[in-house]
Amino acid sequence: MSDYEQALYEHIIQNSAEISKKWFENREFTKGSIYSTDASHQIQKTLKEQHIYTIETIASGFLEEPSIFQQNLGKWINIVVNSRVEHGTPIYEFLSALSRTRQLIWTVVEEYSLKHEHIDKQRIIKWSALYQATMDRLINEFTRRYHSATSIRILSQQQLLDEIDSPIIPVVDAVAVLPIIGFVDETRAATLLETVPEKCMKENITYLVIDVSGVNNIDTLVANQFYRLTEVLNLLGITPIVSGISPEIAITAVRLGIVFDRTKTYSNLKQALLHFGVRKI
């Protein structure tokens, strides 16, 4: 039995270049896609190398020794998943491209079977079942690893955004500034509450100047989160100082009943830093 499968495997490998050629000819123009006909020369070169290995990996699924396919699959997953995540390839594009490969390889199997009369229907049915199982395994492993890789990447990007969104800038010993700019919603305010105290502890900050001169909105939820932030900092032995409160925000805070009675305030960042002897920033 293994002789038949080995011969089929070798036949697919021998035709891999032709399979890959047909696959590339069937590509369409999809702006920004790794599979697009207008992809850069380097991307197309990489894609051709990966596609040949994809064919070899699928073909090894016909072999009687499962460890060969398992080894190829592991290597293929690492190469292709990393590449698709790097290029931001949507999973539906990958599945569509793999589907075309699937059809082309099976066409080669069918043609091979027709040319060899000694290959009976029972063996073809067996090959079909084996092929479907191989493709299912390929898709399942890819989607699982793709989801894991993209989740890690999204988490990393979110952490970077959080760092950018709440930068604590050291000014002098134990004194730092937290500039808050733009629109602040409840989610962003909650993130500040979660991350800022921890950052201050790590940086050994004793005084934190929270500059809100760039904030263009405030509502009940946001004001409460800011108030909680100053209270948490006080409990940690970190003195919060607020600068840049606009008349509009001050009026809104008073109307909402938010009183920063334990927090010193300044009209602007320059005045707040002068308190620490900092004359230029």
Number of H helices, E strands in the chain: 10, 5
pLDDT at 160: 52
Instruction: Output the CATH code of domain 2-163.
Output: 1.10.490
DSSP string, 149-172: HHHHHHHHHHHHHHHHHS--EEEE
In whole angstroms, give the CA distance from residue 63 to residue 252.
Answer: 73
In whole angstroms, give the CA distance from residue 223 to residue 186.
Answer: 9
- What is the number of other CB atoms lying within 10 angstroms of the CB of residue 128? 13
Tokens found for residue 90: 């949507």
For 24, 128, 183, 211, the CA distances from 102, given in Å and listed in that order, are 14, 12, 49, 58
In whole angstroms, give the CA distance from residue 76 to residue 102.
Answer: 16
Tokens found for residue 144: 């699982």
For 36, 38, 94, 267, 278, the CA distances from 31, given in Å and listed in that order, are 7, 8, 15, 50, 52
The CA angle 258-259-265, to the nearest 5 degrees, is 120
In whole angstroms, give the CA distance from residue 261 to residue 2.
Answer: 83
For 8, 83, 93, 132, the CA distances from 50, given in Å and listed in that order, are 21, 9, 15, 21
- List per-residue pLDDT tens for the chain, 281 residues long: 478 999 999 999 999 999 999 999 999 888 889 999 999 999 999 999 999 999 999 999 999 899 999 999 999 999 999 999 989 899 999 999 999 999 999 999 999 999 998 899 999 999 999 999 999 999 999 999 999 988 887 766 655 555 555 688 888 889 999 998 888 888 888 888 888 999 999 999 999 999 988 887 777 777 788 888 999 999 999 999 999 887 877 777 777 777 777 788 888 888 888 888 776 55
- Please state the domain extents for the chain: 2-163, 169-274
Please tell me whether the overall predicted TM-score, pTM, comes out greater than 0.75 for this model: no
Sequence-distant (6+) residues with CB within 8 A of 43 are 34, 87
CATH topology of domain 169-274: Transcription Regulator spoIIAA (3.30.750)
pLDDT at 58: 97
In whole angstroms, give the CA distance from residue 173 to residue 181.
Answer: 24
